[in-house]
Amino acid sequence: MTKADLVNAMAEKAGLSKADAEKALKAFTDSVTDALKAGEKVALVGFGTFSVGERAARTGQNPQTGAKIQIAAAKSPKFKAGKALKDSVN
């Protein structure tokens, strides 16, 4: 499902115009992004939890030259599905 498909589905299910559904989707994604940037979790009961995971700095190896390189620490977004979502998919 693409973003356009999601906007169409949201508009149909909520009885909104496509423009309003797109604004709502953008507001949702912006709000989740802002919360994750601030280091917060976003928990939607029954759906899932968005959080930020941390990866430590480590030493890697360039596959072409075999030279050792330092890979910097990084943060990455994570999503853990809630029980209701898992149950509805299965």
- Extents of the domains making up the chain: 3-89
- Residues 15-56: pLDDT tens digits? 999 999 999 999 999 999 999 999 999 999 999 999 999 999
Look at residue 54 in the predicted model and tell me its pLDDT.
93
Tokens of 38: 């601030």
* Residue 74 · residue 55 · CB < 8 Å: yes
pTM across the whole model: 0.79
Give the pLDDT band (50/70/90) at residue 11: very high
In CATH terms, the superfamily for domain 3-89 is: IHF-like DNA-binding proteins (4.10.520.10)
Average pLDDT on 66-87 reads 95
Give the pLDDT band (50/70/90) at residue 9: very high
Residue 54: which of 41, 36, 73 has the closest Cα?
73
